[in-house]
Structure 1
Amino acid sequence: MNRYILVCTALILASCGKNQADPNKESNIMLEEPLVVAVDSAAAGKHKGLALIEGADCLTCHKIETRVVGPSYQEVADKYTEADMDMLATKIIDGGKGNWGEIPMTPHAGMSRENAIKMVEYILTLKK
């Protein structure tokens, strides 16, 4: 019986001892999130339209100077003028095909007309 009490006491004392934290051990304690600073694209010197293009899926099919699935932005700028801005903004929102081949452009129905216009404005700045 004395042996049982001695073993229990030893276990209790061992479990109450100070444990040093292992820095490699996983923990469920959340650390403070890093501070994320939002950058205004205009303040960063970037055209608002370019920032919108980079934030959407546009660069999957279009590049500035290289034809990928669709025409390059340089080709679009060389073909169209400011008079075509509404038509191009509608193409971004509604999609379409035929102007650059038979591969259809995916519609972006959730995009606002204002943002589509800003994208077109940027693209037309590439005119040579």
Structure 2
Amino acid sequence: MKPLFALTALAVATLSAPAFANLELAQKKNCMACHAVDKKLVGPSYKDVAVKYAGQKDAVAKLAEKVIKGGSGAWGQIPMPANAVTPDEAKTLVTWVLSQK
């Protein structure tokens, strides 16, 4: 039984690693200063973003550009500043945000 438990634990850790890695990237890039997964802070919650953009085929590209360049108006008058992320980091962050349903 112990080897099966260890294998199961390894599988769970492997499958959840990308989610933790992207949360870590969001923390590293200071996204969590204004956003939270499940509640509004300065900006919208990531769950609210995921709901708003669900099913939109261009959502990743559109939101990655907003992460890089900043923007305002989509969620109120408080602007989101430009962020020091690479295009790949922005896509990784946005893909993770859109998975927070």
Percent sequence identity is: 36
Deviation, structure 1 residue 45: 2.1
Larger radius of gyration: 1
User: C-alpha distance in 2, partners of 1:55/1:75?
Assistant: 22
Partner residue of 1:121?
Answer: 95
User: C-alpha distance in 2, partners of 1:66/1:117?
Assistant: 22
Partner residue of 1:64?
Answer: 37
Identify unmatched segments of 5+ residues in structure 1: 1-41
Code of the residue aligned with 1:120 in structure 2: it is: V
Identify unmatched segments of 5+ residues in structure 2: 1-12
User: C-alpha distance in 2, partners of 1:107/1:80?
Assistant: 20
What's the Cα RMSD here?
A: 1.8
| Residue of structure 1 aligned with 2:17, choices 38, 41, 45 | 45
On the 8 A contact 1:49/1:121 being kept in 2, the answer is: no
TM-score normalised by structure 1 residue count: 0.61
* Structure holding more helix per residue: 2
Query: How many aligned positions are there?
Result: 85
SS for the counterpart of 1:104 is coil
| Residue of structure 2 aligned with 1:88, choices 57, 63, 66 | 63
TM-score normalised by structure 2 residue count: 0.76
1:75 maps to 2:48: yes
1:54 maps to 2:34: no
User: C-alpha distance in 1, partners of 2:75/2:47?
Assistant: 13
